[in-house]
Amino acid sequence: MQLNPSEISELIKSKIEKLDLKTEARNEGTIISLTDGIVRIHGLEDVMSYEMLEFPGNTFGLALNLERDSVGAVVLGEYTHLAEGDSVAPVGLVVVHQAAGGPSALRLLPIPDPPARERAQPYPVLLNLPPAGFFAALTDQYLYAALQSALYESLLQESQTRLAHMEQAIRKLQDDLDALGRRRNRLRQEEITEEIEVILLNAAAPTSTTRASRAPAPGS
């Protein structure tokens, strides 16, 4: 079938009219209002509650109120450099826990890409689950394992901190006991010195009395 130019033009117009050109800002947003560190963001349709957000200037915040047309968030830290129209991007689900070097941030979502395999599997992996169901189950297991790891690491660091404080307290008690022992010895030494002085004085007193009684009376 051969179409004339007018039919082609009408066909193109009909295709353009049916084309859905609605843009969806699912992973990016724009600040539409900012008041005292509380921002309203347009977009971010896939953001989750309490998900970390990244603002310009290496500034972060938390998504709180999830509404149909906007997201309410609070800025963590300085916010005076932010302005309406600035772009916002989700960081993902982050858990801050205690690590060996201090507080550490563990990023749980989105799930990081697995490392590249050093060698290919000789046979393809057979799955009995649909890919979507397998990924959902794997995500649950991953989040559980990651949270357990962060929890155990935090408990380990807390136990080590408690142990260090107890050892410091024991050393302090031992130092106090040593100081009290030295003070007791010093006081006991002073008591022994006083007792020796009293004994010497008492021993010298009878000798003086005896000499006085043996001395001849005057005129005899």
Q: Are residues 140 and 108 in the same domain?
A: no
Minimum mean pLDDT range among 15-19, 113-117, 196-200, 201-205: 15-19
Mean pLDDT of the chain: 78
Is residue 122 in some structural domain? Answer: no
Give the structural domain span for 178.
Answer: 129-207
- pLDDT number for residue 95: 73
Q: With a threshold of 0.85, does the pTM exceed it?
A: no
Minimum mean pLDDT range among 147-156, 183-192, 202-211: 202-211
Q: Residue 9: pLDDT band by 50, 70, 90 thresholds?
A: low
Percent of the chain past pLDDT 70, that is, above it, reads 71
> Given a cut of 60, is residue 209 above it in pLDDT?
no
Q: What is the DSSP string of 23-91?
A: ---SS-EEEEEEETTEEEEEE-TT--TT-EEEETTTEEEEEEEE-SS-EEEEEES--TT--TT-EEEEE
Number of domains within the chain: 2
**What value does the mean pLDDT take over residues 107-131?**
66
Q: Are residues 156 and 91 in the same domain?
A: no
**What value does the mean pLDDT take over residues 71-95?**
87
Q: Which residue has the higher pLDDT, 70 or 220?
A: 70
Is residue 217 in some structural domain? Answer: no
